[in-house]
């Protein structure tokens, strides 16, 4: 229990699990086995920096090994702790099951403020942390495959991959030890944007279902909808950018560490991102109203609220004042268990984290498969697809000529159609398909059972059922 009187993050996840599990027919033993975290490794290591030895504390938690490798990001933040890492590892188990990526759940973290260190220092620290985990098979292509999370990105993943390769020179699958690498270092196109892209695809799918929209009192399309985004980091930036540029949504507020920007006409996400990169925060951005108390902006009226930064930002003390009828949890755990209850009573629709931000692990799965297959993704299909596309284009043009219709295909369309089997296109279509299929699985449970009140319980039921099936078929 936290000082705030709320359950801790891990307790919150467990309570949400319990709410779903009691509606299922699991034996108490199996239910307990699925819920608990298998193991957490804590490491304290020293690195000589700026003339003295600095000690760092890191964690790698393995929640469930019902499938291997286990998968989950590595977070760099000062408040990383065992409870948080275990909560995030549990969410990874359920997330992977929900989007059918064949992984167990894991998560790691290092207590560090990455902004306090130079790049070469961060490299030393990351390599040393990776060394500690690799030694214990907590980074391994067949056993445990990390990815980026808050405070880490392609750069850190490239260092980890290189560290693993140096320590395992004969492992032909070394590149598959971590995902989220830059494309030139074994990564895949579209991984950086994947989680935000997944949030966009999730909302698009939600807006395809009129009865779901009606539950939130919404109608129409994403075009013109008013959105508030918290956190303009990897996930928040990409989600806000794609939703505003491609779907016509208006980003009426962006909340960051040092305050929030408001503009009823809609903020230019790219310009705000540039401003943050140059100035270290949103304060001073010339084309919007600045408010110092960012957390308060979560309570402003809008159509969709996208928390994409930290956990527990919507809690028992502000949940009642949240006005958004629809919240999509781009971050992990942004709504506490107590707040979830309050929001549910108010009729707020919540698209839960384990689904909403599953785009990252989905594309990580594509990257892992690409690394293991040792072939450029899509290369096998490419020639055949191009040949089929060419046939179709020729046939259309022949038909048009035969019938004197005078139809022509625009050159840029032809170009895209004929070369459309590139990696990015394959990744995006695979991600879109995954997000649609998983939403429909949740929705089916939500609508078909009277005892299932919301999408979160539905998501847990789908996920727990799949994990339980795996345990039952392979034994413990
Ligand atoms: N990166 C991924 O692929 C991925 C995948 C799944 C889930 N997530 C989850 O998404 C969330 C964000 O991760 P990320 O990778 O975008 O992290 P990030 O480090 O790239 O960005 C986090 C952003 O939040 C901002 N922020 C920090 N404290 C804040 C505060 N108090 N108020 C407002 N903004 C604040 C930071 O300044 C930063 O811009 C986390 O919960 C993470 O677990 C990330």
Q: Distance (Å, rounded) from C-alpha 264 to C-alpha 148?
A: 33
Q: 286 with 171, same domain?
A: no
- Domain annotation covers residue 200: no
Closest by Cα among 140, 142, 143 to 161: 140
Q: 172 with 230, same domain?
A: no
The DSSP 8-state label assigned to residue 393 in this structure reads H
How big is the chain, counted in residues?
476
- The mean pLDDT value for 246-251 works out to 97
Residue nearest to atom 25 of ligand 1 (CA): 231
Q: Is the CB of 240 under 6 A from ligand 1?
A: no
Task: Determine the pLDDT at residue 422.
Answer: 78
* Range of lowest pLDDT (119-128, 172-181, 191-200, 371-380): 371-380
- Which of 162, 185, 208 delimits the end of a domain? 185
- The mean pLDDT value for 111-128 works out to 98
Query: Is the predicted pLDDT of residue 378 greater than 90, yes or no?
Result: no
- Which of 314, 347, 380 delimits the end of a domain? 347
Is the entire prediction scored with pTM above 0.90? yes
Query: What pLDDT digit, counting tens, does each position of 444-458 carry?
Result: 999 999 999 999 999
Task: Determine the pLDDT at residue 156.
Answer: 98
Q: Is the CB of 331 under 6 A from ligand 1?
A: yes
Just list the catalytic residues: 107
- Using DSSP's 3-state secondary structure scheme, residue 327 falls into strand
Q: Ligand 1 pocket check: which of 89, 90, 91, 149 to mutate, most ligand atoms within 8 Å of Cβ?
A: 149
Distance 12 CA to ligand 1 centre (A): 19
- Domain annotation covers residue 306: yes
Mean pLDDT of the chain: 95
Q: Is the CB of 308 under 6 A from ligand 1?
A: yes
Query: Is the predicted pLDDT of residue 421 greater than 60, yes or no?
Result: no
Q: 45 with 167, same domain?
A: yes
The complex's ipTM works out to 0.99
- The mean pLDDT value for 12-33 works out to 96
Q: 238 with 181, same domain?
A: no
Q: 338 with 296, same domain?
A: yes
Please spell the DSSP secondary structure of 26-89, one letter per residue: --HHHHHHHHS--EEEEEEEEEEETTEEEEEEEEEEEEE-SSSSEEEEEEEETT--HHHHHHHH
- Domain annotation covers residue 358: no
Q: 58 with 137, same domain?
A: yes
Query: What pLDDT digit, counting tens, does each position of 86-119 carry?
Result: 999 999 999 999 999 999 999 999 999 999 999 9
Cα dist from 314 to 165, 189, 442, whole Å: 42, 34, 23
Query: Is the predicted pLDDT of residue 249 greater than 80, yes or no?
Result: yes
- Domain annotation covers residue 4: no
Query: What pLDDT digit, counting tens, does each position of 201-237 carry?
Result: 999 999 999 999 999 999 999 999 999 999 999 999 9
- Domain of 103, CATH number, reads 3.40.50.10860
Residue nearest to atom 30 of ligand 1 (CA): 257
- Domain count of the fold of the chain: 2
Q: 181 with 230, same domain?
A: no
Locate 19 and state its tokens: 């709410």
- Domain annotation covers residue 259: yes
Task: Determine the pLDDT at residue 474.
Answer: 83
415 pLDDT tier (thresholds 50, 70, 90): confident
Q: Is the CB of 101 under 6 A from ligand 1?
A: no
Q: Is the CB of 309 under 6 A from ligand 1?
A: yes
Query: What pLDDT digit, counting tens, does each position of 32-51 carry?
Result: 999 999 999 999 999 999 99
- For residue 274, count other CB atoms closer than 10 A to its CB: 12
**Ligand 1 atom nearest residue 309's Cα:** 24
Query: What pLDDT digit, counting tens, does each position of 164-187 carry?
Result: 999 999 999 999 999 999 999 999
Q: 92 with 140, same domain?
A: yes
Closest by Cα among 43, 33, 87, 41 to 65: 33
Task: Determine the pLDDT at residue 423.
Answer: 86
Q: 252 with 339, same domain?
A: yes
Q: 229 with 166, same domain?
A: no
Q: 143 with 268, same domain?
A: no
- Domain annotation covers residue 411: no
- Domain annotation covers residue 108: yes
Distance 234 CA to ligand 1 centre (A): 7
Residue nearest to atom 29 of ligand 1 (CA): 257
- Positive/negative CA dihedral, 162, 163, 165, 166: positive
Q: Could you tell me the residue range of the domain that residue 143 belongs to? A: 40-185
Task: Determine the pLDDT at residue 4.
Answer: 74
- The mean pLDDT value for 76-90 works out to 98
- Domain annotation covers residue 423: no
Q: 140 with 249, same domain?
A: no
- Which of 315, 347, 379 delimits the end of a domain? 347
- Domain of 308, CATH number, reads 3.40.50.720
Burial (0-12, 13-18, 19+ Cβ within 10 Å), 277: exposed
Task: Determine the pLDDT at residue 376.
Answer: 75
Share of the chain above pLDDT 70, in %: 97
Query: Is the predicted pLDDT of residue 313 greater than 70, yes or no?
Result: yes
Q: Distance (Å, rounded) from C-alpha 223 to C-alpha 226?
A: 9
């Amino acid at each position: 229990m936290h000082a705030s009187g709320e359950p801790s993050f891990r307790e919150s996840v467990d309570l949400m699990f319990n709410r779903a599990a009691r509606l299922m027919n699991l034996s108490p033993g199996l239910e307990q086995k699925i819920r608990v975290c298998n193991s957490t490794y804590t490491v304290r290591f020293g690195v000589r920096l700026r003339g003295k030895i600095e000690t760092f504390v890191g964690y790698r938690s393995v929640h469930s090994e019902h499938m291997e490798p286990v998968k989950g990001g590595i977070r760099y933040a000062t408040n990383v702790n065992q409870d948080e890492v275990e909560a995030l590892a549990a969410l990874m188990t359920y997330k992977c099951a929900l989007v059918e990526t064949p992984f167990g759940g894991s998560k790691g973290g290092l207590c560090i403020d990455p902004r306090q260190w130079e790049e070469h220092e961060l490299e030393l620290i990351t390599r040393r942390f990776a060394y500690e985990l690799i030694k214990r098979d907590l980074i391994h292509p067949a056993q445990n495959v990390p990815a980026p999370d808050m405070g880490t990105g392609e750069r850190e993943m490239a260092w980890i991959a290189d560290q693993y390769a140096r320590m395992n020179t004969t492992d032909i699958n070394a590149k598959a030890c971590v995902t989220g690498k830059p494309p030139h270092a074994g990564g895949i196109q579209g991984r950086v944007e994947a989680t935000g892209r997944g949030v966009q695809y999730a909302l698009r799918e939600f807006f395809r279902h009129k009865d779901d929209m009606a539950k939130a009192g919404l109608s129409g399309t994403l075009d013109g909808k008013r959105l508030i985004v918290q956190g303009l980091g990897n996930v928040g930036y990409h989600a806000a950018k794609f939703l505003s540029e491609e779907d016509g949504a208006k980003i009426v507020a962006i909340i960051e560490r040092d305050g929030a920007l408001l503009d009823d006409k809609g903020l230019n996400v790219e310009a705000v991102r540039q401003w943050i990169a140059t100035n270290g925060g949103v304060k001073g951005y010339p084309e919007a109203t600045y408010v110092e108390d960012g957390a308060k902006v979560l309570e402003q009226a809008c159509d969709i609220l996208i928390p994409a930064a930290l956990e527990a930002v919507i809690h028992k003390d502000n949940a009642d004042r949240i006005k958004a009828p629809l919240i999509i949890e781009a971050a992990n755990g942004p709504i506490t268990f107590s707040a979830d209850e309050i929001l549910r009573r108010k009729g707020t629709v919540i698209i839960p984290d384990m689904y909403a931000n599953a785009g990252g692990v989905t594309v990580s799965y594509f990257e892992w498969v690409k690394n293991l297959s040792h072939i450029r993704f899509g290369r096998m299909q490419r020639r055949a697809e191009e040949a089929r596309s060419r046939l179709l284009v020729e046939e259309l043009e022949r038909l048009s000529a035969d019938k004197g219709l005078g139809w022509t295909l625009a050159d840029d369309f032809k170009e895209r159609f004929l070369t459309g089997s590139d990696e990015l296109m394959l990744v995006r279509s695979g991600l879109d398909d995954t997000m649609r299929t998983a939403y429909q699985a949740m929705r089916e449970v939500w609508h078909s059972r009277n005892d299932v009140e919301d999408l979160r319980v539905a998501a847990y039921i789908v996920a727990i059922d799949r994990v339980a099936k795996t345990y039952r078929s392979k034994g413990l």
